[in-house]
Amino acid sequence: MANRRCYYEILEIEKGVDDEKIKLSFRKLAMQWHPDRNAGNPDAEARFREVNEAYEVLRDQDKRKRYDRYGFPGIEASETADRSGGQGSIFDIFNDLFGGSGGRQQRNSGEDLQIETLIDLAEAAKGITRKIKVPRSESCGDCSGSGCKPGSKKTKCRKCDGQGAVLQGQGFFRIQRACPACGGAGQTIADPCKNCGGKGTRPVQQEVEVKIPAGVDDGVTLRLTGYGEAGPARGAPGDLYVLIRVRKHPFYQRNGTDLICEVPFSFAQAALGDSLELPCIIGDPVKLNIPAGLQSMEVLRVPGRGMPNLRGGRPGDLLVQMRLETPRKLTTKQQELFKELKDLEDNHPQSQTKSFFEKIRNFFAGSADSTKAE
C-alpha cells in the first residue's frame, strides 16, 4: 500500500475539485498515456491503468468519500462489500478486508476513449456527419475474447487457489490484495490464443460515423456508447468521447448563439444612409440598412440570423458593429469636395463640432473673467 500513489496526485488535481475538473483531467491524461499513442514506451500502459483506476474511484461520490476518509483500505472495503452483496457496517467491511475471503472485484467493461475532431463555423451552424478513424481494441475473433487457444480453457490459479486474492502482512494486521499471478480473476491461461497472445483483444482501426448537431460549440463533447475499448473477459466495451473543436472564422465571432462581425462604412454612407448585402454562415445574405446619421461603432442587430440553439430554442442574432472608415489617400477631386464640406460645416448653425468648440471657448472665457474679478 505504501507504494501506491495518491489518486489526486495521479490525476494532477487538488482535493475538493468538482466533478467536471476530474473528468477533464482524466480525459487529458488518458489521451496522453494511451498505449496506442506511446509505442515503444514501456511505462505508458502502467500509467494508463493508473489514471483509469484513479478516475474510477474519484468520479464516484460514495467511493470518493470513502477514499478521502479511509484511504485505499476504504476502497478495498467497498469492493469487498459489493462482492458480498450487502452493505454491512464499517466494522463488517474492515473485518472482510483484513482477514475475510473473496477476490478483488474486477472492472468488466472496457476503457473509455477520447478523440478530437476539427470543424469550421459553417459546419457547426448546419450540423454535419463526419467519419472518424478510431484506434481501439476489439474482442479477438479466434478465441471470442477468452484469451485461450481455441479448444482450451482457463485453469484455476495455483497462487490464490482460484480465490482471486491473497493475504499480505504479518501477525494480526493482514491486508487482502488482488492475486498478482491472475490479476484477481482466479484463473490463468495455460495455452494462450496465438491471434491475441492471450489478451482476448486485438488492436483495430475502426471507422466511426459521428453525427454533430447544428449549433454545437467549441469544447462540446459527444458520447458514443460502446465505441471504446473492448471489455475484458467478454465484458461490455467502453464509450467513445468526441471532443468538438471549432475553427476560428475570419469574419464572424461567436458569443453563445449570437454571431458578431465588424463592417466598415464611409462618411458618405454615414451621412446619407445606404444598404448593403452581408453574406451569412447559413441561409441567404442579409440586406442591411444603414440609417442616415449612423455613428461609428454602433451595433445593428438582425434577429434570428445567428447560430442555431443546440437545445432547440430560439436561434441567436447577428450583431453588426459598424466602423467608420477614414480614407488615407484622397484624389484631388475628393480633397476639393471635403474642403467644401468643411466650409459648409463651419457655417452650419447646427454643426455639432462648431457647438462643441464654442462651449469650450465660453468655458475658458468664463474662467478667465472669474480670475480677473478676484
Paired sense of beta strands 258-265 and 318-324, if any = parallel
Q: pLDDT at position 214, please? A: 94
Q: Specify whether 268 is located in the same domain as 303.
A: yes
Q: pLDDT at position 245, please? A: 94
More confident residue, 358 or 151: 151
Q: Specify whether 261 is located in the same domain as 315.
A: yes
Closest to 284 measured CA to CA, from 302, 266, 269: 302
Q: Specify whether 293 is located in the same domain as 345.
A: no
Q: Specify whether 318 is located in the same domain as 357.
A: no
Q: Specify whether 297 is located in the same domain as 278.
A: yes
Q: Specify whether 307 is located in the same domain as 336.
A: no
pLDDT per position as a tens digit, 192-202: 998 888 888 88
Examine the pLDDT at 174 and tell me if it is beyond 70: no
Q: Specify whether 357 is located in the same domain as 317.
A: no
More confident residue, 79 or 241: 241
- The lowest-confidence range among 11-20, 169-178, 328-337 is 169-178
Give me the percent of the chain exceeding a pLDDT of 90.
29
Q: Specify whether 267 is located in the same domain as 302.
A: yes
Question: Domain for residue 51, yes or no?
Answer: no
Examine the pLDDT at 248 and tell me if it is beyond 70: yes
Q: Specify whether 259 is located in the same domain as 299.
A: yes
Question: Domain for residue 150, yes or no?
Answer: no
More confident residue, 181 or 323: 323
**Which of 68-72, 161-165, 166-170 has maximum average pLDDT?**
161-165
The C-alpha cell of 32 is what? 496522453
Question: Domain for residue 336, yes or no?
Answer: yes
Q: pLDDT at position 224, please? A: 93
Q: Which whole number is the average pLDDT over 162-166?
A: 82
Q: pLDDT at position 101, please? A: 37
Examine the pLDDT at 264 and tell me if it is beyond 70: yes
Q: pLDDT at position 90, please? A: 38
pLDDT per position as a tens digit, 209-227: 999 999 999 989 999 999 9
pLDDT per position as a tens digit, 65-123: 878 876 776 676 555 445 444 443 333 333 333 333 343 344 567 889 999 999 999 99
pLDDT per position as a tens digit, 119-155: 999 999 999 999 999 999 888 888 888 888 888 888 8
More confident residue, 343 or 352: 343
More confident residue, 285 or 353: 285
Count: domains in the chain: 2
Examine the pLDDT at 289 and tell me if it is beyond 90: yes
How far is residue 83's CA from residue 165's CA, in Å, rounded to a whole number?
13
Angle CA 351–355–358, to nearest 5: 140
Question: Domain for residue 357, yes or no?
Answer: yes
The answer to whether the CB of 270 falls within 8 A of the CB of 149 is no
The answer to whether the CB of 179 falls within 8 A of the CB of 164 is yes
Q: Specify whether 348 is located in the same domain as 316.
A: no
Question: Domain for residue 338, yes or no?
Answer: yes
Question: Domain for residue 101, yes or no?
Answer: no
Angle CA 60–65–68, to nearest 5: 120
Residues 6+ apart with CB under 8 A from 314: 304
- Name the residue range of residue 352's domain: 332-365
Q: Specify whether 320 is located in the same domain as 336.
A: no
Q: Is the model's pTM score more than 0.85?
A: no
More confident residue, 61 or 176: 61
3 state SS for the chain: CCCCCCHHHHCCCCCCCCHHHHHHHHHHHHHHHCHHHCCCCCCHHHHHHHHHHHHHHHCCHHHHHHHHHHCHHHHHHHHHHHHHCCCCCHHHHHHHHCCCCCCCCCCCCCCCEEEEEEECHHHHHHCEEEEEEEEEEEECCCCCCCCECCCCCCEECCCCCCCCEEEEEECCEEEEEECCCCCCCCEECCCECCCCCCCCEEEEEEEEEEEECCCCCCCCEEEECCCCCCCHHHCCCCCEEEEEEECCCCCCEEECCEEEEEEEECHHHHHHCEEEEECCCCCCCEEEEECCCCCCCCEEEECCCCCCCCCCCCCCCEEEEEEECCCCCCCHHHHHHHHHHHHHHHHCCCCHHHHHHHHHHHHHHHHHHHHHHC
Query: Domain holding 296: CATH number?
Result: 2.60.260.20
Question: Domain for residue 131, yes or no?
Answer: no
Question: Domain for residue 298, yes or no?
Answer: yes
